[in-house]
Amino acid sequence: MKLELLIPESEIINKVNEIAEDIDKFFNGEKIIVIGVLKGALFFMADLLRRLKTPILYDFIQVKSYELAKSTGKIKILKEPQVDVSDKRVLIIEDILDTGLTVSYLKDYFKERGAKEVYLCVLIVKKKVRVNAIEADFKCFEIDDNFVVGYGLDYDEQLRELKEIYILRQC
């Protein structure tokens, strides 16, 4: 396997700062609940929340749908958030939007628990057809349909620690 640099660190930082401003403008000082999707969103979430001026409460949810580099098509919850989302505005922070299955499941999860509104902020959106026509409300990068790693994203739990985002080429 080979790593090919796709997005350098400086570009990630600039984009995350821009998105933080967009989120601040959108919520206009109103408190929101931020839910990070473990483990992939950790780096992105920490960098983003550092820049936000919007008052927040944050928690995490952990789900599993991938085995190695393939979606299994089924979502399993590994960790549930403790925060009460009823009648609150929720912002989900996810690393990557691929088939859209995970996010579609998560949006329903928080709506069923009484969230007033559920928004989605993702680091990377893959250009492809998604289930339930799911779209990100805030996104940093749109990429071709390749498997990527780094900045929190993994291949079988490896390579999350890379500061940049790379395409993982099978060769």
Alpha carbon distance 53, 51 (integer Å): 7
Q: Is 150 in the site for Mg ion (CB under 5 A)?
A: no
Q: Is 109 in the site for ligand IMP (CB under 6 A)?
A: no
Contact range with ligand IMP by CB under 6 A, out of 50-58, 81-89, 107-115, 146-154: 146-154
Q: Is 40 in the site for Mg ion (CB under 5 A)?
A: yes
Q: Is 40 in the site for ligand IMP (CB under 6 A)?
A: yes
Among 54, 95, 151, 162, binds ligand IMP (CB under 6 A): 95
Catalytic residue, candidates 24, 87, 95, 98: 98
Cis peptide before 39 (omega within 30 of 0): yes
Whether the CB-CB separation of 101 and 75 falls below 8 Å is answered with: yes
Q: Is 141 in the site for ligand IMP (CB under 6 A)?
A: no
Q: Is 100 in the site for Mg ion (CB under 5 A)?
A: no
108 catalytic? Reply is: no
Tokens standing for 16? 């995350």
Whether the CB-CB separation of 90 and 32 falls below 8 Å is answered with: yes
Site for ligand IMP in 1-30 (CB under 6 A): none
What are the catalytic residues? 98
